[in-house]
Amino acid sequence: MATRKRITVADFLAMKKRGEKISMLTAYDFRTAKLLDQAGVEGILVGDSMAMVVQGHTTTVPVTLDQLIYHGEMVVRGVERSLVVVDLPFPINHLALAELVDRAGRLLKETGCQAVKMEGGAKQAECIEAMVTAGIPVVAHVGLRPQSINLVGRYRVHRDRDVLLTDARAAQQAGAFAVVVECVPADIAAHLSADLEIPTIGIGAGAGCDGQILVTDDLLGLTTGYVPSFVKQYADLQTTMTDAVQKYCGDVRSGEFPGPDQTFT
């Protein structure tokens, strides 16, 4: 079977120029990554949301660099075409630039991903620049930054147009090739998107962004806890899975499974 051409950082920028929307989703394992890739998503994020979705934590803070490398590597193995981005985990803002570049470099070298994502804008411009200078493509992340939850106390919509614009412009100036815009009113996110040359990837930021990203479990109806109001649920896999498992348990109890077709003679 012919291999499909890998999507690159340059393709993201070209898509923005052509006015083509970019779709991104999260994945943390081989099977999901393969499925998303074959379904045609342009970008896959091995997000630190893994702490909540896979590990059962209440915030994204606990996930470690080694865990993101372990899962990132599985994801990359499942992907042929999508651009794979892996999150830099908390904490990073205190790091000397050389240490930060080392950590980001480990993500690229040990997973085979094409880029890293770092929460931040203007205050992180030096960090972004250092990684880009070292040859590491960076996605910035402005608006709601879940890694700061212990500092800010709650997840909220970010409405300060000037701060958002300063952050997004600084990230672009520092060399980021895309910027995630999280929990921002649609008109402000659309303004950022029109202002920037790099694509904005919105999550809870309206239709005016150059692309969209969601946590895959939210979209598939697999999330057991809180689901943000900006999520559109495209399937109800929780019900499908529960029904299947209940049927199996019933069949085991009644002796219906295994039947003749599942039995060696």
When asked if residue 47 is in the footprint of ligand KIV (CB under 6 A), the reply is yes
Q: Determine the residue with CB nearest ligand KIV.
A: 47
Q: Judged by CB under 6 A, does residue 216 bind ligand KIV?
A: no
Q: Is 48 in the site for ligand KIV (CB under 6 A)?
A: yes
Q: Does 111 bind ligand KIV (CB under 6 A)?
A: no
Check 110, 126, 182, 256 and give the catalytic one: 182
* Amino acid at residue number 227: V
Is residue 203 within the footprint of ligand KIV (CB under 6 A)?
Answer: yes
Q: Yes or no: say if 140 and 115 are a contact pair by the CB < 8 Å rule.
A: no
Which residues, 7 to 46, sit near ligand KIV by CB under 6 A?
A: 26, 45
Which of these, 39, 36, 114, 101, lies nearest to 72 by C-alpha position? 114
Location of structure tokens 């929460």: 119
Q: How many residues does the chain have?
A: 265
**Contact flag: residue 184 with ligand KIV (CB under 6 A):** no
- Which residues on neighbouring strands pair with residue 143, listed in sequence order? 182
Q: Which amino acid is at 94?
A: H
According to DSSP, residue 247 is labeled H
Per the listing, tokens 């000037």 go with 162
Residue placing its CB nearer to ligand KIV in the complex, 7 or 45: 45
From 8-16, 35-43, 47-55, 107-115, give the range in contact with ligand KIV by CB under 6 A. Answer: 47-55
Residue 48 to residue 180: CA distance in whole angstroms: 14
Asked if 84 touches ligand KIV (CB under 6 A), the answer is no
Q: At what angle do helices 30-39 and 65-78 cross, to 10 degrees?
A: 50
Regarding 211 and contact with ligand KIV (CB under 6 A), the answer is no
Residue from 213, 219, 220, 222 that binds ligand KIV (CB under 6 A)?
213
**119 is annotated as an active-site residue:** no
> 165 vs 183, which CB is nearer to ligand KIV?
183
Contact (CB, 8 A) for 156 and 228: no
The H-assigned helical ranges of 7-64 are 9-18, 30-39, 50-53
Q: Is 174 in the site for ligand KIV (CB under 6 A)?
A: no
Name the β-bridge partners of 141. Answer: 119, 180
Q: What is the closest distance, in whole angstroms, from the C-beta atom of residue 116 to ligand KIV in the complex?
A: 12
Q: Is 192 in the site for ligand KIV (CB under 6 A)?
A: no
| Residues labelled catalytic | 182
Q: Can you give the binding site for ligand KIV, defined by CB under 6 A? A: 26, 45, 47-49, 60, 87, 180, 182, 203, 213, 215
